[in-house]
């Protein structure tokens, strides 16, 4: 990787819900243009970790830095950081009352203060990037899950974020729709977008990620490049976890 500038720094994030300690001190750095996949069993805090990065969930302890700015403790400035940190959700969360193109342009107009005409052009451009331009005038309810997720990726992209967080973007989709979404994400990764992806798609993680973080019980247990995790003997736990998937798909 040419550019090794650290764009996102996560330090010692702790989060509990009641008595349940979901995150037990998670730290990592993200370099510009990197794609990092978080894998691991359900309920180990992967999604909570992503939400702690843009403070949709307030961490109990620890800090998040975007470039030189501290996201945690940013007070009212959090809205600025959220513009710079895109997010794509498992259930899309498209705005139900707006067409695809309005979904993409509304934050450009209301948050960035862009002129409607300019915002429309940008929104259509982003929809084209994800292959959804001809669906611009359709409402979310008229789209398939895969199409809706691609629109929500366009919505995140339109803000020109420094990094995009993907929270299980394909978990609500069937295999065919999953593929169309993963294709888009792969293209983004190759274009140099910085991405943090919580996923159960091992194939995607292994082929696209620069680094894989294996999380269990609120901690990053093992991390490395896909090659290292698959082949190095010191990464037993992760390999077993991935192995379960290979067994199922192997027959």
Partner 1 sequence: MDQTEFLFQILLPVLMEGLVITLKLIVLTAPFGLVLGILVAVGRVYGSKPVSLLCKGAVAFIKGTPLLLMLFILYFGLPSVGITLSAFVASLVGFIMCNGAYNSEYIRGAISSVKEGQIIAAQALGMTRMQAVRHIILPQALIRAIPGLSNEFIYLIKYSSLAYMLTVIELTGAGKMVATKYFEYTEVFVIVGAIYLLLVTITTIAAMLIERKVAVPGMTQSGRNMLDIL
For the CB of residue 115, give the shortest distance to partner 1 in the complex, in Å: 17
3-class secondary-structure state, position 84: helix
Taking the least distance from each CB to partner 1, the nearer of 76 and 117 is 76
Q: Which of residues 65-124 bind partner 1 (CB under 8 A)?
A: 79-80, 82-83, 86-87, 89, 91, 93-97, 106-107, 110-111
Instruction: Enumerate residues 6+ apart whose C-beta is below 8 A from 18.
Output: none
3-class secondary-structure state, position 13: strand
Binding mask 150-169 for partner 1 (x = CB under 8 A): --x--xx--x----------
Instruction: Enumerate residues 6+ apart whose C-beta is below 8 A from 125.
Output: none
DSSP annotation string for 205-237: HHHH-SEEEEEETTEEEEEE-HHHHHH-TT-HH
Determine contact, residues 39/214, Cβ cutoff 8 Å.
yes
Asked if 141 is part of the footprint of partner 1 (rule: CB under 8 A), the reply reads yes
Name which position in 35, 54, 129, 178 contacts partner 1 (CB under 8 A). 54
Distance CA 157, CA 163 (A): 9
For the CB of residue 136, give the shortest distance to partner 1 in the complex, in Å: 15
Taking the least distance from each CB to partner 1, the nearer of 110 and 128 is 110
Please report, as ranges, the residues that interact with partner 1 according to CB under 8 A: 54, 56, 79-80, 82-83, 86-87, 89, 91, 93-97, 106-107, 110-111, 139-142, 152, 155-156, 159
């Amino acid at each position: 990787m040419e550019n090794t500038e650290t764009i996102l720094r996560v330090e010692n994030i702790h989060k509990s819900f009641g008595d349940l300690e979901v995150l037990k001190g998670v730290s990592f750095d993200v370099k510009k243009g990197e794609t990092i996949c978080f894998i691991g069993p359900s309920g180990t805090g992967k999604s909570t970790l992503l939400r702690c990065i843009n403070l949709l969930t307030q961490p109990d302890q620890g800090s998040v830095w975007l470039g030189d700015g501290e996201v945690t403790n940013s007070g009212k400035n959090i809205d600025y950081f959220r513009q710079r940190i895109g997010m794509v959700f498992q259930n899309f969360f498209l705005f139900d009352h707006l067409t695809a193109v309005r979904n993409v342009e509304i934050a450009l107009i209301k948050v960035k203060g862009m002129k409607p005409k300019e915002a429309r052009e940008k929104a259509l451009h982003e929809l084209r990037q994800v292959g959804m331009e001809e669906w611009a005038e359709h409402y979310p309810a008229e789209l398939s899950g895969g199409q809706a997720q691609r629109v929500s990726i366009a919505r995140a992209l339109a803000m020109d974020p420094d990094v995009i967080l993907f929270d299980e973007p394909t978990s609500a989709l069937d295999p065919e729709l999953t593929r169309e979404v993963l294709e888009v994400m792969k293209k983004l990764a190759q274009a140099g977008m910085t991405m943090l992806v919580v996923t159960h798609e091992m194939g995607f993680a292994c082929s696209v990620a620069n680094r894989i973080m294996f999380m269990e019980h609120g901690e990053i247990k093992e991390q490395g490049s896909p090659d290292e995790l698959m082949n190095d003997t010191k990464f037993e736990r992760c390999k077993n976890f991935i192995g379960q998937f290979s067994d199922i798909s192997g027959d």
